[in-house]
Amino acid sequence: MTSPAVYRFPVPPLAEMPDDIRSRIEGVQEKSGFVPNVFLALAARPDEFRAFFAYHDALMEKDSGLSKAEREMIVVATSAANQCQYCVVAHGAILRIRAKNPLIADQIATNYRKADITPRQRAMLDFAMKVSREAETVGDSDFDALKTHGFTDDDIWDITAVAAFFALSNRMANVTAMRPNDEFYLMGRLPKA
C-alpha cells in the first residue's frame, strides 16, 4: 500500500491494525481511491491515531463561522511557514477543491499576503500566522482587529485551534518524514470534465 521509503517509522500491515483503524482506512481508500499517508504513518500508534483524527474532525468537518475552504487556507499558510511538505501538498489539494480555485493553494503557500483572498481572509491568515509563529505575543489588539472584520469569539477560537492543531501535525510530519502521496499534486488543478 506504500513504499518502504514513505517515512522514517514502519507502517503496520493492514491486517494487524485494530478494527476501527483498519475500517477507517478502508473507508478512505474507497472514497478517495488511495490512502493518504498520514493514516498509515499514525496507524502504528492506535491511541494517538484515534485522538489525532478525532481532533482533526472536530475542527475541520464541523459547522463553523469559517468555511471549510477558509480552514484549509489556515492549514496551508501555517504549514508552509513550518515547511511541512505533507501538509502543504495534501491540504493544498483539499483547498483547491473546496475553494473551487486551482491557483489559490500555491498562492497562499508561497506568500499569503499576495493571494486572491478577501481582506477578511487576509486578517484571518495574519492572525493564524501569529498563532503559529509567536502565539506568546497575541493580545487584545489582535482580537480587536479580527472583530472589525466581523469574526466572533467562536470564529477566533476556530482560527486558533486550526493553527494550533497543525502546529502539532506539521511537527509529526516533518520528523517522521511523512511523504505526500503522488495523487495530491494534481488534484483540483483541472476543470471538471
Q: Which residues bind a copy of itself (CB under 8 A)?
A: 8-9, 44-45, 47-48, 50-52, 54-55, 57-59, 62, 80, 82-85, 88-89, 92, 102-103, 106-107, 109-111, 113-115, 131-132, 135-139, 143, 153, 156-157, 160-161, 163-165, 167-172, 174-177, 179, 182, 185-186, 189-190
Q: Which residues contact 127 (CB under 8 A, 6 or more apart)?
A: 138, 142, 145, 146, 156, 159, 160
- In the bound state with a copy of itself, the residue whose beta carbon lies nearer, of 62 and 100, is 62
Rounded Cα distance between 170 and 161, Å, is: 14
| 3-state class (DSSP) for residue 61 | coil
Residue 23: exposed, middle, or buried by beta-carbon count in 10 A (0-12, 13-18, 19+)?
Answer: exposed
Minimum CB–partner distance for residue 160 and a copy of itself (Å) = 4
Q: Which string of DSSP letters, residue by residue, matches 155-166?
A: HHHHHHHHHHHH
Evaluated on CA atoms 191, 27, 10, 48, the torsion sign reads positive
Radius of gyration of the chain (CA): 17
- In the bound state with a copy of itself, the residue whose beta carbon lies nearer, of 22 and 45, is 45
Rounded Cα distance between 41 and 44, Å, is: 7
- In the bound state with a copy of itself, the residue whose beta carbon lies nearer, of 6 and 25, is 6
Minimum CB–partner distance for residue 186 and a copy of itself (Å) = 6
Minimum CB–partner distance for residue 46 and a copy of itself (Å) = 9
Minimum CB–partner distance for residue 58 and a copy of itself (Å) = 4
Minimum CB–partner distance for residue 159 and a copy of itself (Å) = 9
Beta strand segments in 57-146, E: none
- In the bound state with a copy of itself, the residue whose beta carbon lies nearer, of 35 and 180, is 180
- In the bound state with a copy of itself, the residue whose beta carbon lies nearer, of 30 and 141, is 141
